[in-house]
């Protein structure tokens, strides 16, 4: 049965957003038909700058403040940092009041709505380092062929393994899975009465890795492809292992997300992003773990990536200074400092070697950048994904083709 989403039309600048630790999707809806602001007309003044962020904690806040202080001292322009308790709401309020922050964290599923109502300054082509960003990250923040904003960092998904459980099952580095068959085989060996072989969230933001490995996805070349046979094959594969008990959703093993499932010993392997390192270090420090690239599927390797950009307000009176600040914040030195402080990977290719040297054990996350897909960034896509996630919770007993047919109909309504 096809499920259609009823979308509420929100006023200009209003946002509907849900965010979680594990970077699940967030949605936005907007009304308005103002044309995007052209990047060639940046304002310039002596005004101070305001930067609005949604912080993961004290470490991130301190690192951003330190970078802003250093740039301010160098440039002579004062910058004030605002840490949002509800970033979406505070962004919307700023735009509605005509007093937005000059720069702000902006997610991929917010950009289309804010771009369509004229809230954003499209400055991507003005960046002196624009060719240094990973192309897939640029694509995340490109709307109607316009590159809006600089990706500030990113994360990918990989296979994170409890090293002790791996060894106890008689497995070695030679057994790291290279294919779906391999993954199924090691998951079976790792499954005991105490823990499941592989766990992950009941959501597209994890299950979507299998869709990518099968050669599918949700949107390609501007068209909805949710009902593609590759996606059916991917969900059939996942369903078969949910049914035989070697795979499980994190919630079904008593965990809120994959990191908790691994940390509590409820799973020997999980599919998670590089943010898991902080959780394991802080909450489950006794766990020895190994990170490996996800195995290839029928169409090759595939993973998902997640990112934010430095959004710039169309109403900012000092966009030239804001642009200079963005270039400073996305430089190799700044991004490597951020990575050391709170974990994200640099969004620029020139920092890759230094990051890999400093984080050799996490290199599989960065390797995923070469073949990662990203969730759709069309306005309303987050609502479709939320509905998809609700259906994935019953994948163990549902028909994958029926689920994907419903997602296809919903995607077509916003994409085509």
374: nearest Cα among 127, 16, 25: 25
Q: Is 51 helix (H, G, I), strand (E, B) or coil?
A: strand
Q: Is 142 helix (H, G, I), strand (E, B) or coil?
A: strand
Classify 254 in phi/psi space as left (phi over 0), alpha (psi -120 to 50) or beta: left
Using the CB atoms, write b or e for 42-51: b if 16+ within 10 Å. Answer: bbeeeeebbb
| Predicted pLDDT of residue 40 | 53
pLDDT at 215 over 60: yes
Tell me the average pLDDT across 38-42: 63
| Predicted pLDDT of residue 231 | 98
pLDDT at 133 over 80: yes
Residue 35: which pLDDT band, with cuts at 50, 70 and 90?
A: very low
pLDDT at 163 over 80: yes
| Predicted pLDDT of residue 59 | 87
- Mean of the per-residue pLDDT values of the chain: 90
Class of residue 59 by CB neighbours under 10 A (exposed 0-12, middle 13-18, buried 19+)? middle
pLDDT digits (tens, 9 = 90+) for 80-126: 999 999 998 999 999 999 999 999 999 998 899 899 999 999 999 99
The DSSP 8-state label assigned to residue 102 in this structure reads S
Cα 367 from Cα 187, distance rounded (Å): 23
261: nearest Cα among 244, 276, 275: 276
Q: In Å, what is the CA distance from 369 to each residue of 23, 42, 155, 293, 383?
A: 17, 31, 9, 11, 26
């Amino acid at each position: 049965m096809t499920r259609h989403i009823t979308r509420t039309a929100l006023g200009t600048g209003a946002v509907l957003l849900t965010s979680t630790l594990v970077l699940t999707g967030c949605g936005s809806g907007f009304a308005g038909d103002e044309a995007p602001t052209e990047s060639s007309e940046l304002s310039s003044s002596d005004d101070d700058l305001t930067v609005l962020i949604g912080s993961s904690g004290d470490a991130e806040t301190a690192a951003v403040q330190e970078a802003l202080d250093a740039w301010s001292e160098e440039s002579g322009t004062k910058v004030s940092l605002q840490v949002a308790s509800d970033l979406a709401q505070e962004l919307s309020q700023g735009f509605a009041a005509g007093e937005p922050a000059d720069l702000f964290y902006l997610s991929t599923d917010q950009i289309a709505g804010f771009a369509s109502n004229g809230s954003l300054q499209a400055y991507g082509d003005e960046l002196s380092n624009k060719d240094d960003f990973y192309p897939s990250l640029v694509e995340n923040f490109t709307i109607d062929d316009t590159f809006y904003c600089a990706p500030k960092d990113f994360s990918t998904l990989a296979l994170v393994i409890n090293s002790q459980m791996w060894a106890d099952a008689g497995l070695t580095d030679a057994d790291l899975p290279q294919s779906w068959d391999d993954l199924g085989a090691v998951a079976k060996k790792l499954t005991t009465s105490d823990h499941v072989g592989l766990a992950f969230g009941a959501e597209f933001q994890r299950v979507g890795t299998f869709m990518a490995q099968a050669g599918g996805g949700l949107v390609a070349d501007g068209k909805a492809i949710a009902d593609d046979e590759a996606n059916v094959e991917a969900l059939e594969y996942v369903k078969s292992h949910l049914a035989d008990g070697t795979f499980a959703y994190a919630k079904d093993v008593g965990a809120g997300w994959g990191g908790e499932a691994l940390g509590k010993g409820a799973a020997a392997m999980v599919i998670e992003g590089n943010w898991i390192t902080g959780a394991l270090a802080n909450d489950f420090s006794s766990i020895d773990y190994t990170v490996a690239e996800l195995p290839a599927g029928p169409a090759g390797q595939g993973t998902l990536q997640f990112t934010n950009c430095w959004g710039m307000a169309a109403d900012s009176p000092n966009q030239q200074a804001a642009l200079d600040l963005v270039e400073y914040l996305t430089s190799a030195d700044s991004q490597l400092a951020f990575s050391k402080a709170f974990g994200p990977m640099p969004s620029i290719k020139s920092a890759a070697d230094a990051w890999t040297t400093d984080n050799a054990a996490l290199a599989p996350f960065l390797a995923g950048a070469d073949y990662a897909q990203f969730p759709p960034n069309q306005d309303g896509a987050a609502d479709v994904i939320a509905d998809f996630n609700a259906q994935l919770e019953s994948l163990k007993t549902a028909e994958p083709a029926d689920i994907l047919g419903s997602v296809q109909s919903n995607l077509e309504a916003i994409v085509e």
